[in-house]
Each structure stands twice: as C-alpha cells, then as structure tokens.
C-alpha cells in the first residue's frame, strides 16, 4: 500500500510490480452433507405445512416453441456448474440434512404443457408448475 502512495501513477509504480502466483479455487463438483445456515435452520424449524410452496418453479415460453431435449441439456449443465442447484433436504433421524447431490444423481424434472392445442389458462399452468 505504501508504494501506491509513493508512486501514484502506473508508470512510476511499474518497476516495483512483481508477478504473483495465480491462485484458483477448486472448481470440481462437490458432493455430500453441508451445514445449514441460520436462516435455513429457522425455516426448517418452523415445520411449514407446505414446505414445497417455497420451491422455485418456472414456466418457459417461446413464440416459436422450445426443444424439450435442448432445455433439459441446458438445465443439466447449469446444475453441474452451480453446486447449489443440486441441493436436496432429506429428513434423517428427525432432522433436515442439507446435501449436495452428486452429478451422477443430477435429474431435472421437466413437464411440457402444449398450449397451442388446448386452452390452458395462466392459473392452471401456474398450478402445474408449482406441483
């Protein structure tokens, strides 16, 4: 820090800059049990009747349609890359455990609803997405 104040321009500072070793975090997929955060403990201690209500569902729509296989592959790759998307919360011995599923357990649930051929209201499609 002292050098930054002594040599305030890059040109003046350049002779004193040393190349540092590049540190990288391990990016390999993780698997196994993870300690719950305080807010997660709070949530599970409440024993909400409909805990599934707090999940994240989404409905995708494209004017020219979507290729189900492509969507499946994209979601699977996202889950491989983002460990938190593979979290599951099984109940073991009376307590909720937070666990990273392994990549080999990676399964994405996709329900396709064709809205061109049948009348599907936004509410009924939303109910289906929330199940």
Mean pLDDT value across residues 69-86: 90
3 neighbors 16 (Cβ within 8 angstroms): yes
Secondary structure tally for the chain: helices H, strands E: 5, 5
Residues 16-39: tens digit of each pLDDT = 888 887 778 888 888 899 999 999
Q: Which CATH class is domain 28-130?
A: alpha beta
C-alpha 103/C-alpha 86 separation (Å) is 8
Q: Which residue from 124, 121, 85 is spatially nearest to 105, judged by alpha carbons?
A: 85
Q: What is this structure's pTM?
A: 0.60
Residues 115-125: tens digit of each pLDDT = 665 555 556 66
């Amino acid at each position: 820090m002292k050098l930054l104040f002594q040599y305030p321009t890059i040109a003046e500072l350049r002779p004193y800059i040393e190349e540092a070793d590049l540190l990288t975090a391990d990016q390999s997929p993780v698997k196994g049990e993870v300690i719950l955060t305080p807010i997660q403990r709070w949530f599970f201690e409440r024993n909400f009747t409909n805990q599934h209500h707090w999940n994240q569902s989404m409905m995708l729509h494209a004017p020219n349609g979507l290729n189900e296989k492509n969507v499946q592959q994209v979601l699977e790759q996202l889950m491989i890359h983002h460990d938190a998307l593979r979290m599951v919360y099984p109940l073991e011995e009376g307590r909720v455990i937070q666990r990273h599923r392994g990549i080999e357990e990676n399964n994405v649930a996709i329900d396709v609803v064709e809205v061109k051929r049948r009348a599907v209201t936004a509410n009924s499609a939303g109910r289906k997405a929330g199940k």
